[in-house]
Structure 1
Amino acid sequence: MAMNGHEGGVADTARALRSGALSSETLTRHLLERAEARQSLNAFMALQPDLALAQARAADRALAAGEAPGPLHGVPLVLKDNIDAAGWPTTAGTPALADHRPPQDAPVVAALRRAGALILGKNPLHELAYGATGNNPCTGPSRNPYDPQRIPGGSSSGTAVAVAARLAPAGIGTDTGGSVRVPAALCGLFGFRPSAGRWPNAGIVPISGTRDTAGPLARHVEDLLLIDEVVTGDTATPTRPLSACRIGVPDAFFWEQLDPDVAERGRATLETWRRQGVTLVEKPIPDLATLLAPASMPLVFYEGIQDLRRYLADSGCGVTLNQVVEGTVSPDVHGLLAMMNDPQQGVPWEQYLDILRHRRPALITAYATYLAGNELDAMAFPTCPLTARAIGEDDTVQLNGEAVPTFPTLIRNTDPGSTAGLPGVTLPMGLDRSGLPMGIALDALPGRDRVLLALARELQNHLPETPPPAAAG
């Protein structure tokens, strides 16, 4: 690892710190200088250099005194700005929460700190995490390090930018419909969505308690495994040869209407894995679109209002739900929240109960039948149907010569598994002809998180290397 440290991932940075090859203060100062020099990317919502450096010096002193280091001792990480961290604002990228400073860490953050991590900064997001571009009028757009005129994806936009531009070894985002995996794919990163409920949701500005989860973005699968272990305590890393692995390829829905470069690279990736001994099972999930529609967005439309009201009350921030809704500045988010908060337009209780009792279980059953019934370790599909589009194309984007709606297109392939609560991981599969990253995703059965990550670790060895962006130079 380079002694300046910015190319290092979490695990190798932690090893360098423990060995004395690198100090936390030196690394933190270097990353802060890089962040200062790359402000135009809009990767950070909040930086507190004095606080970060004080934490780094304390970590160095503890190591010099012989204190047993945790697995993340002295490693700087970044947080999406909808995750509570004591001493830091949690604005969720919306004006009404500009002064919100939670008194305590979210459990996810507390686990990272117990392992020795320090918080380098907090990252901007699509307002209240309700979007997939990262174009937020409240904070300004975050910019893709591979082409600053393009979106990084969202809603964990700034977190992806910070990690891809080598401003931090890794970061924690949140994922409700694809908000970790979409920006990871568009920025050339690995991103992991844990099974619903595997990571604690407390202390995170919510969208849907049923669907929400925090998850890491990193430049190495090894780091996803390490961070998941720190948060959950699960140390299992079950591996078996690729020749014993079976991966489903659901052509219908997931492999339709793709950008030509994404389709070509995706198929080439599958063929590479096949040559390594993976058995590919090309079968669709029957009636997926029909099962998804009544269980997906209606769930968000009901829980979004109820869960946000609960978070505001529990946080003691003194801000009401109506103040948040009325204060939103993103046209897409404002219109959506106003609709959800209108008793005449929102999802009624009876429909919500039907989703929980029948609609979502039917979708979960379809996935279980597909994955378990075909004895699949995972299913594979392009993370996003297209690569990063220009900033400002918030309503529609061009795909194969047709104007298609931006948000549902970006999350089309990640949303079904999110709704069903599946674990999912995206792996970078190189750059398209114009130099933009593309990702391929794997979903597995709930609870098979470590199996999925171990499989991703093996498969990453058979993917083209994704070069760093020019912004990382």
Structure 2
Amino acid sequence: MANSTEATAAEIVAAIRDKKVTAVSVVQAALDRAEQLKHLNAFIVLNRDGALAAARQVDAGQRAGPLAGLPIVVKDNINTSDLPTTGGTPALQHARPARNAPSLQKLLDAGAVVIGKTNLHELAFGITSTNLAPFAGPVRNPYDVTRIPGGSSGGTSAAIAARIVTCGLGSDTGGSTRVPAALTGTVGLRPSVGNGGAERRYHDDNQVVPISHTRDTVGPMGRTVADVALLDAVITGAPLAVAAPLRGVRLGIPACFWNGLDRDVEAVARAACAKLAGAGVVLVDIDMPDLFEQNGKVSFVVALHEPIADIPAYLAASGIEGITLADIAAKVASPDVVGAFGAITTDAFGAAYDDAIRVQRPALQAIYAAYFRDNRVDAILFPTTIAPAPLIDETNGSSEMSVNGGEPAPTFGTMIRNTDPGSNAGLPGLSLYAGMTSDGLPVGLEIDGAVGSDARLLGLGLSIEMILGSAPPPKL
């Protein structure tokens, strides 16, 4: 392990297992780097004592497993019993859930060591991770600290991009693992969710501070696809994904995802497509013309109605007493999240919810099903975000941005344009590194597949990454 900051998760675990390094030295190095880079605001809390105690158990042979000694980070909306789960919001700052979220517990059972809980957009209701709660602060992009890392899992992606850890957990409702992965040159998986029931790949019901029980999911994030695949295999118990041959693979290139791109993003993404075509990938240039319009009939209706029941259910299931939805709403600190909770507490979308679930979401899913079937595509390929990381707005949390010098538009809607439809359809999606802009900002490329095709996506991602490479380390 000559260069530990560029080692994969599997390489770190192997080095600890083979006694080339100690778990304590690896965990201490991660904690030290987190402290050195605290200006990134990637963490809400570091777990110094707990992490080192766990590492000592690994070195003593008292903890074993496929992740033994591996330092990881966990987004601070995912339940941990030994650390508060704050959701990045004042009302939950000292909330202590009764148990760990199941996906996290599987990583812990495999020997992983949590070095800290990572910062996020307040209550995961945003795409910038500009958290204006006084104990959190805006997460900063390691490639340019004046810019956002994406969100809402921005703290996890920043910690990974900064080489504090190789991997960790985020969560994703409309793009929250994939957008930050794209903007920080890392990898993020949104596993299959379907309609939120049996089709789910991960089952963490009521153990993650919620937005939407039919859309939310925990998702692994890593420096490489291999890191993400390793965490996914441990969480699911499925075989570890292996690289899939690319020759003859059919990837859809719908124009709706490729229109209106930032010029630098388009240049990087088109160059990546050319490399994939050179490797034998068949690019299927057929559009999905009604997709975005149909998605608009589902997205906000679901995300701003389901919290009314889901947040109280989470509080009860987590054993968090004396805090209500009204308490949380009253103490929200970030102006953009205040606006979202205004819509929630007045149930502004309640009248449209039944139609969104019973009619509009199935219609959206039908568009995807027909596209996969009629065009015989293995997955859909597109730039994860239409622009690179915009500047941080430390007054609002989200605000506006401009693409190619055009009219300002809401940052939230602009940055989730390409990730949101697949989320509402319940599809799995994998964002991986595609290249760098002329300003040195990472660009992400996403592949979305049919529900249940997660292993296939990871296999394709492993092969695509061999062609496109991994992001260079940021200059910190």
Q: TM-score range by the shorter chain?
A: over 0.9
1: CA distance, partners of 2:242 / 2:38: 41
Deviation at 1:271, TM superposition (A): 1.0
Distance 2:233 2:385 in 1: 27
SS of 1:243 mapped into structure 2: coil
Is 1:112 aligned with 2:113?
no
Mapped partners of 1:329, 1:465: distance in 2: 36
SS in 1 for 2:67: coil
Structure 1 residue 355: deviation in Å? Answer: 1.7
Contact in 2 for aligned 1:423/1:443 (Cα 8 Å): yes
Match of 2:95 among 100, 110, 122: 100
State whether structure 2 residue 330 is matched by structure 1 residue 329: no
Q: Provide the rounded CA distance (Å) in 1 between the counterparts of 2:18 and 2:184.
A: 31
2:305 corresponds, among 283, 287, 302, to 302
Aligned partner of 1:230 among 226, 230, 234 = 234
Distance 1:189 1:48 in 2: 23
> What secondary structure sits across from 1:155 in the alignment?
coil
Tell me how far apart the structure 2 counterparts of residues 121 and 238 of structure 1 sit (CA, whole Å). Answer: 30
Alignment of structure 1 residues 144-163 onto 2, 5 Å: 144-163=141-160
Matched, 1:454 2:459: yes
Which shifted more, 173-182 or 369-378?
Answer: 369-378
Pair 1:362-2:363 in alignment:
yes
Q: CA deviation at 1:241?
A: 2.4
> Match of 2:430, SS?
strand
Q: Equivalents in 1 of 2:220, 2:431: separation in Å? A: 11
- Conservation of the 8 A alpha-carbon contact between 1:9 and 1:220: yes
After the TM superposition, list the runs of 4 or more consecutive aligned residues in structure 1 that deviate by more than 3 angstroms: 236-240
Residue 386 of structure 2 corresponds to: 385
Q: Deviations over 1:391-418 (max 9, x none)?
A: 1072111111121110000110000000
Q: Deviations over 1:4-57 (max 9, x none)?
A: x33322111111111111111000111111111111111110112111101100
Structure 2 distance, partners of 1:239, 1:170, is: 19
Distance (whole Å) between structure 2 residues aligned to residue 443 and residue 132 of structure 1 = 19
Give the Å deviation of 1:346.
Answer: 3.7
Does the CA contact (< 8 Å) of 1:209 and 1:303 recur in 2?
A: yes
> What are the ranges of 5 or more consecutive residues in structure 1 without an aligned counterpart?
none
| Residue 116 of structure 2 corresponds to residue 121 of structure 1 | yes
TM-fit CA distance, 1:71: 0.9
Instruction: Map 1:74-473 to 2 at 5 A.
Output: 74-138=69-133, 139-196=136-193, 197-202=200-205, 203-235=207-239, 237=241, 240-251=244-255, 253-317=256-320, 318-343=322-347, 345-348=348-351, 351-392=352-393, 394-402=398-406, 403-471=408-476
What is the distance in 2 between the residues matched to 1:48 and 1:254? Answer: 40
Contact kept in structure 2, 1:201 and 1:209, CA below 8 Å? no
CA distance in 1, matches of 2:442, 2:245: 28
Partners of 2:270 and 2:127 lie apart in 1 by: 25
- Is residue 273–residue 462 contact of structure 1 (8 Å, CA) maintained in 2? yes
Instruction: Report SS of the residue matched to 1:399.
Output: coil
Q: CA deviation at 1:315?
A: 2.0
Q: Deviations over 1:366-386 (max 9, x none)?
A: 101101221111110000000
- Would you say the 8 A contact 1:169–1:218 is kept in 2? yes
The answer to whether the 8 A contact 1:6-1:31 is kept is no
Deviation at 1:140, TM superposition (A): 0.8
Residue 464 of structure 1 and its aligned partner are, at CA, apart by 4.5
C-alpha distance after superposition, 1:127-163 (max 9, x if no partner): 0000000111111101100011111110001111101
- Contact 2:427-2:450 within 8 A present in 1 as well: yes
Residues 80 and 185 (structure 1), Cα distance of their counterparts in 2 relative to 1, 3 Å cut: same
Question: 8 Å contact 1:192–1:216 — kept in the other structure?
Answer: yes
Contact 1:286/1:366 (<8 A) preserved: no
The one-letter code matched in structure 1 to 2:141 is N
Unaligned runs of 5+ in 2: 194-199
Q: Deviations over 1:332-359 (max 9, x none)?
A: 111111221114x3423xx322222111
| Aligned equivalents of 1:340, 1:465: Cα separation in 2 | 40
1:236 CA drift (Å): 5.9
Q: Scaled by the length of structure 2, what TM-score is found?
A: 0.95
Residue 103 of structure 1, CA deviation? 2.2
Q: Is the 8 A contact 2:332 2:338 kept in 1?
A: yes
Alpha-carbon distance in structure 2 between the residues aligned to 1:255 and 1:101: 44
Aligned length: 462
